[in-house]
Structure 1
């Protein structure tokens, strides 16, 4: 497995290195083919590394040699001028070369259209490659016979745009395949005319290889710019729950004026918590006990004030008069379940006993956590004694994308990985198939993989879904529709189970993946949290509590 892992960067490196020889081949092809014979080479260059090599070598034309001639006539360019020999070339001068790199789009529409088309062609590499490889040779032959260029550009643009539009509207896999095929046809038509369109009306007829420099930049720049721009664009285009209201930019770090760090709640080094108090702290304060995530095997209480979008959450709670205690617990590398759960419960016991000394209100304590911390927060909040009564005096519990059923979550994740390996034809010894059998965070937590028969009882005791009951406190569950780690089905199933027991609960599905800052910065999601805290842990609810 280690060998396969080390080979991956090499494979990626070889793929990323292809644009370098591709740029050189694109420039050379213009010198190797006559302008009226560049359609087929254009298709070969666009098809990939192998066909590009064939594009460098022109197909010989077998014409009868005139009688009495012992050697072929020296080649001439289309205008009839004698080609410039090597010893006749003038000395290299950078200034005239630099001045010819600009070609006005009005005076030279061909290169301008092709240059812009290469920017639009970049996303097409993700779709329809098979169809384009079939279409390109056919279209290139038609182009060379007709000598027409602009009709190919128009047809390629319309067909490709129709294909991409169909991709966005596809609701079934079969419809998606058809849409990709249509886009591939448009791409194939474009490949047939792209290089010929660029090289025929080059600004400088005596130096086509040099003039193709800007064209090569147009083909390479998207590969460098899009990875940097795409995440921001995807985040901006994600449907926001709050309409037109902009997202908050999460603070990189948050500090409270009254912060105490590394306070002990037990004898072990991991038994520590940080206490954050709001700046205008007065009187007994409601308390949120926050449990950090990290797959039960990494993470720290400091993440609340400096990791990802969590500082935005801390800022929200402190700004609304809540004290926040961020607790550590033993990770799976130190101890297995139920040690982490015991630690969270012990921290709650310590905070409840010391609440008057710390200026906290023991009747308004809320458990909260993200990912693995959300899982532990749910378990601790649902814990009961032998009589079925709540073990901890918590008013409510909030989980951000936490696992609710260890067995179900692991089975779903492994099935996704196995299906991906099967569909993509990965061999049995591939790294993707190794992930199916690799130790999982759940397995490290329990000390045994939860989908094994002998771990059934242990996995059930570590699943909030199995622990939920009539005595469970009000629960708010945040889950991501695109969460490939914890999924969203588990949160929805837990919410339904709580409803069956008449426990107030709410499951909020966000347009986000696992661990995204969106959960803590979106105004609507922030308001969901504050409303829930006000209803189930506000002063009125505390006064009405038995």
Structure 2
């Protein structure tokens, strides 16, 4: 029987699946779409993640309940439940859950980071978050034109929390990855466009600062000119974001496998 492979885990909505003919390291990928809509459909996987790539990783796209169905902490709990399901099924579907990296973009990056920081140490070997919120308690402060209000109950964050961040302060803090940072945090790769008009790049900086203060060594890469979803970047620069992500994941699972 081939040796187990590591994996990527990405967060999606309600379906859980893993791909790969042998026991592989795992990527877990969490989809974005503001926790309000969307699904982790295989056809949405970016080209660098499609077969035969990404270099020995099995990729699981995780679904979670959207904010119209349930509020925090349901989304985080669904990602944790998906990881537990994969651990139970690992021998059957050929996964090495001891070498798992979480990855998500936007709202999915928020859930990947939140899950990585609230699961027992060692559950995942690394976490990648692309243009993700990290501190919902001060999100409004980071929006440069003051177009976002912490008292607005109709924002995507408020819908996920069950109330405006200013009124649901406890939930906002609990849903913020920065509030759960300790010196036991796994390695983090944070990518964020400097021109992001939906999630300010300052949110990734805040998470990097919190990790650094805890004695961790996050890799923060601010992508010059990048808007949300990498709008405004050339294909080559977007490919570079994927390449950095895969290099980081490979380094995490190689270090964890020794």
Same fold (TM over 0.5): yes
Return structure 1 stretches of 4+ with deviation > 6 angstroms. none
Bigger fraction of residues in strand? 2
Q: Is the 8 A contact 1:410 1:451 kept in 2?
A: no
In 2, the alpha carbon distance for the partners of 1:319 and 1:330 equals 27
Gaps of 5+ in 1: 1-269, 419-432
Q: Is the 8 A contact 2:54 2:246 kept in 1?
A: no
Bigger fraction of residues in helix? 1
Are 1:465 and 2:178 an aligned pair? yes
| Counterpart position of 2:227 | 513
User: What secondary structure is seen at the aligned counterpart in 1 of 2:252?
Assistant: helix
Gaps of 5+ in 2: 1-12
Are 1:276 and 2:6 an aligned pair? no
Q: Is the 8 A contact 1:329 1:343 kept in 2?
A: yes
Are 1:402 and 2:127 an aligned pair? no
Q: How many correspondences in the alignment?
A: 243
User: Which is worse superposed, 291-300 or 489-498?
Assistant: 489-498
User: What secondary structure is seen at the aligned counterpart in 1 of 2:40?
Assistant: coil
How far did residue 519 of structure 1 move? 9.1
| Counterpart position of 1:533 | 249
Show the 5 A alignment for 1:174-213.
Answer: none
How far did residue 273 of structure 1 move? 1.6
| Counterpart position of 2:43 | 305
| Counterpart position of 1:351 | 86
In 1, the alpha carbon distance for the partners of 2:235 and 2:96 equals 25
Distance 1:524 1:311, change over 3 A: closer
How far did residue 317 of structure 1 move? 8.1
How far did residue 498 of structure 1 move? 1.0
Are 1:294 and 2:41 an aligned pair? no
The TM-score, its normalising length taken from structure 1, stands at 0.42
Find the partner of 1:445 among 143, 157, 160: 160
In 1, the alpha carbon distance for the partners of 2:15 and 2:77 equals 14
| Superposition CA RMSD, Å | 2.5
How far did residue 520 of structure 1 move? 8.0
Residues 292-322 of structure 1: CA deviation (Å, up to 9, x unaligned) = 11111111001x533xxx4224238834121
More relative contact order in 1 or in 2 (CA 8 Å, sep 6+)? Answer: 2
The TM-score, its normalising length taken from structure 2, stands at 0.85
Distance 1:402 1:353, change over 3 A: same
| Counterpart position of 2:5 | none
